[in-house]
Homo-oligomer: A and B are copies of this chain.
């Protein structure tokens, strides 16, 4: 076997380029040529890593999903002693990517979400990501507060986080306002049965 190259790391490198471009000009600004240029590899290399453009996008979406999930679990395990309330607050603000430094990831997420509405393979990845996030949220809610339907509370929180992401991206809400909404919702959730 001649010339070995670490395919996996190259794929990640390309996925990173995809995300940068999707952040700058949307998913339709992601062309094989531009991706290759941004990743500083040749176009042929991109084609060898991914047989088709769709494959590349699927991998990139999985990549960002892993990043978000990784940051989330890192944040949860990093300081486990805190209350479930603050843990959930951190988790939710992590998932809704309202912080300035996550704006790029938010744009990438929105672009992929739109594409997923007409591309089953992308939708599949997104569904699996959402299922994971739902489990985490539901677990935290079950542990931390005695709301009657933790599953529904988790669905609510996840949808709220995504809606806030969208509204911040569009400019309808400021990041501060979004965080305020999130915090208020969590407070309401905590006081629900503890009147």
Contact = CB atoms under 8 A, between A and B. Distances in A.
Interface size grouping (class) on chain A: 35 or more
Interface in A119-175: 119, 123, 126-127, 130-131, 134, 149, 152, 155-156, 158-164, 166-167, 169-173
This protein's copies in its complex: 2
Task: Give chain A's interface secondary structure class.
Answer: helix
A192 interface: yes
B26 A131 contact: no
Interface string A101-117: 00000010011011111
Contacts of A114: 26-27, 110-111, 113-115
A33 interface: no
A78 interface: no
A90 B177 CA distance: 25
A172 to B, nearest CB: 4
